[in-house]
Amino acid sequence: MNTYFHSVELDADKCCGCTNCLKRCPTEAIRVHDGKARILSERCIDCGECIRVCPHHAKKAVSSQFDEINKFKYKIAIPAPALFGQFNNLDNIDIVLTGLKKLGFNKVFEVSRGAELISEATRSLVKENKLKTPVISSACPAVVRLIKIRFPELCDNVMPLISPMEASAKMARREAVKETGLADEDIGVFFITPCPAKVTEVMSPNHAEKSAVNGAIAISKIYPELTHAMDHLTEVEPIARSGLIGIGWANSGGESAAMLGEKYLAADGIENVIRVLEELEDDHIRDVDFIELNACSGGCVGGVLTVENPYVSQARIHNLRKYMPVSMNHLEDGDMDVMMWEKELEYNPDTFRLDKDIFKAMQMMSEMEQIYEGLPGLDCGSCGSPTCRAMAEDIVRGKAKETECIFKLKEKIQSVYDQLKNTI
Amino acid sequence: MSNAIHLHYEVSGDDFTRAGEASGAVKKRLKSLGYNSDAIRRVAIAMYEAEINMVIHANGGFCDVDIYPDKVEILLADNGPGIADVDKAMQEGYSTAPDNVRNLGFGAGMGLPNIKKYTDEMRIETTLGVGTKLYLTVIVRE
């Protein structure tokens, strides 16, 4: 798949062309033209911030329809650990897992299990000094995409291990083939996702040509049916095989804690993540071996496709973990190879550069600086670009006109008026 | 010189949190130019160190940056007290930073040595009681 799939989309009917999403997009990937927001595909990292802030619900996440599971003979659900934080008074995750089976899945495999394997693999790679430090976690796909388009010098620091979702999908498939004797293509694996970035990761993965996951169903979409099924269970099946390490990945800091070391940093919320990456790039962060970054505040529990307040979910996850064993999943021979990325993370220089030819780019930048000097510097967003500087860039790129700035337009009208006045 | 992009920044004197504004702005522009990433990193690190120095020792100043296709030239100038012994200041670990600055984790005596490490050319002009000018060049290594 060459064209980059995006899970964050615009519902043009609902968009009124306001500047809420424009101002909040961390990669300046949104422009408003002709009264509608537009997402610049190459800059969007599918973090979902625009979905969070749009007061008109015009930004939406595309995720799999539940019916898609019926395309497969054998259906597997792999729920994100954040799902367990969505329910009041839950004291046994088997209730959630059995509920998922009641909805039509043949098998349920917690992603927290894959998380425990990834934690173990990370610890062993770090211990063997095989990675460039500080190691940056590769679990949040929005963060990985951000590094890919904006932080060339940090691409080598990203841990070359697949995500817990991917690891769980591979393990669940392997088990299912063994248990059922079915062919691999008859098995459909569906991630129950807290965020749109994971949907994108399923459709066009950072780490491989093809994901082992067939689809991603939003937690918010499955939630009503799931709670209903959970309320009407006659028996609870013993399915869960996760320890507290795996469940802890739902919260920011959980992956770091699983490193069982002290020299780590965990940042959450996309703005904080960007600050950490900037400082890391400038060599200001030292004495840290491992860096966990989550685009959403609170970690995966803060994903825009969850239903519960992230901090309430965090507290519930803490409670759920309390009496669990530390870890219930361990790497077996050969697992390590399966966990490694199939392709290296490659920086994409075209996203932000003005031109391939540096002389041309420098000329454009000189023009940009000049245009910027003439703009009001209010960063109001009324022109449709997020800041005056972005506006200057859009003009140089031929994508905007100076008179789209209402202050520039006012100046122009005033000067026309003055001229007319003098001629009369 | 006509083909260079010239940038000018004032560095405020008493606010640590604002040090790095100039180096951050230059970094962003270099990325837009599609500049060599190793050179971007070295410019950002060296400039930030120099900005911090200006804040700690000299109550701020200004910096002028000239971007060429193959190199970046930076001048950082202040009206501070000047450097009494440049050779000593170039030694790793030598610092005259006051305690309140060290408590913030700065002033480890690595400023000038680090700047030298990350740049290709470095020249200091300093006069006691008048100020210091630091000339830096980072050359793109293909």
Number of domains making up chain A: 3
What is the reported pLDDT for B98?
A: 80
Q: For residue A191, is it within any domain?
A: yes
Over the stretch A284-306, which tens digit does the pLDDT of each residue have? 898 899 999 999 999 999 999 99
What is the reported pLDDT for A255?
A: 96
Structure tokens at A77: 């659900």
* Cβ-Cβ contacts under 8 Å, B34 against chain A: 349, 353-356, 358, 361
Whether the bond into A386 is cis, omega within 30 of 0: no
Name the residue among B7, B29, B33 with its Cβ closest to that of A358.
B33
Q: Looking at the structure, do residues A76 and A57 belong to the same domain, yes or no? A: no
Q: Looking at the structure, do residues A115 and A179 belong to the same domain, yes or no? A: yes
Residue to test with chain B: of A283, A285, A288, most B Cβ within 10 A: A283
* 3 state DSSP class of A300: helix
Q: Select from A62, A85, A101 the last residue of a domain.
A: A62
Sign, Cα dihedral of A169, A171, A174, A177: negative
Q: Looking at the structure, do residues A84 and A167 belong to the same domain, yes or no? A: yes
User: Which residues in B have their CB inside 8 Å of a CB on A?
Assistant: 3, 5, 7, 20, 23-24, 27, 29, 31-35, 37-38, 40-41, 44-45, 48, 67, 69
Q: What CATH number should be reported for the domain holding residue A29? A: 3.30.70.20
Q: Looking at the structure, do residues A284 and A302 belong to the same domain, yes or no? A: yes
Q: How far apart are CA A317 and CA A326, in angstroms?
A: 14
Q: How far apart are CA A230 and CA A225, in angstroms?
A: 9
Mean pLDDT, rounded, for A22-27: 96
Longest dimension (CA), chain A: 91
Name the residue among B23, B27, B34 with its Cβ closest to that of A353.
B34
What is the reported pLDDT for B2?
A: 54
* Cβ-Cβ contacts under 8 Å, A347 against chain B: 37
Q: Select from A10, A29, A62 the last residue of a domain.
A: A62
pLDDT band at B142 (very low <50, low <70, confident <90, very high): confident
Question: Residue holding tokens 């100076």?
Answer: A402
Over the stretch A364-394, which tens digit does the pLDDT of each residue have? 999 999 999 999 999 999 999 999 999 999 9
* Cβ-Cβ contacts under 8 Å, A365 against chain B: 5, 29, 32-33
What is the reported pLDDT for A2?
A: 38
The CA distance from B1 to the nearest CA of chain A, in Å, is: 13
Q: For residue A347, is it within any domain?
A: no
Over the stretch A81-92, which tens digit does the pLDDT of each residue have? 999 999 999 999
Number of domains making up chain B: 1
Q: What CATH number should be reported for the domain holding residue A394? A: 1.10.15.40
Domain residues for the domain of B129 are: 5-139
Write out residues 378-397 of A within 8 Å (CB-CB) of B: 393
Over the stretch B19-34, which tens digit does the pLDDT of each residue have? 889 999 999 999 999 9
Over the stretch B99-115, which tens digit does the pLDDT of each residue have? 877 777 777 777 888 89
Write out residues 127-166 of A within 8 Å (CB-CB) of B: 150, 152-153
Mean pLDDT, rounded, for A235-242: 96
* 3 state DSSP class of B5: strand
* CA distances to A4, A290, B64, B102, B109 from A136, in Å: 24, 6, 34, 28, 29
Q: For residue A346, is it within any domain?
A: no
* 3 state DSSP class of A249: coil
Q: What CATH number should be reported for the domain holding residue B84? A: 3.30.565.10
Q: Looking at the structure, do residues A94 and A135 belong to the same domain, yes or no? A: yes
The CA distance from B18 to the nearest CA of chain A, in Å, is: 14
* Cβ-Cβ contacts under 8 Å, A348 against chain B: none
pLDDT band at A95 (very low <50, low <70, confident <90, very high): very high
What is the reported pLDDT for A1?
A: 35
Over the stretch A116-157, which tens digit does the pLDDT of each residue have? 999 999 999 998 988 999 999 999 999 999 999 999 999 999
Q: Evaluate if residue A250 carries a pLDDT over 90.
A: yes
What is the reported pLDDT for B15?
A: 77
Q: Evaluate if residue A6 carries a pLDDT over 80.
A: yes
Burial class of residue B69 (count of CB atoms within 10 Å of its CB; 0-12, 13-18, 19+):
middle
Check residues A213 and A348 and name the one with the higher pLDDT: A213
Q: Select from A62, A93, A111 the last residue of a domain.
A: A62
Q: How far apart are CA A46 and CA A60, in angstroms?
A: 11
Over the stretch A267-286, which tens digit does the pLDDT of each residue have? 999 999 999 999 999 888 98
* CA distances to A15, A56, A136, A150, A246 from A51, in Å: 12, 9, 26, 22, 28
What is the reported pLDDT for B1?
A: 44
Name the residue among A152, A282, A354 with its Cβ closest to that of B37.
A152
β-strand pairing of B61-67 with A264-268: unpaired
Closest CA relative to residue A8, chosen from A17, A21, A18: A21
Domain residues for the domain of A71 are: 66-339
What's the pTM?
Answer: 0.93
Q: Looking at the structure, do residues A125 and A56 belong to the same domain, yes or no? A: no
Q: Looking at the structure, do residues A307 and A173 belong to the same domain, yes or no? A: yes
Q: Looking at the structure, do residues A54 and A74 belong to the same domain, yes or no? A: no
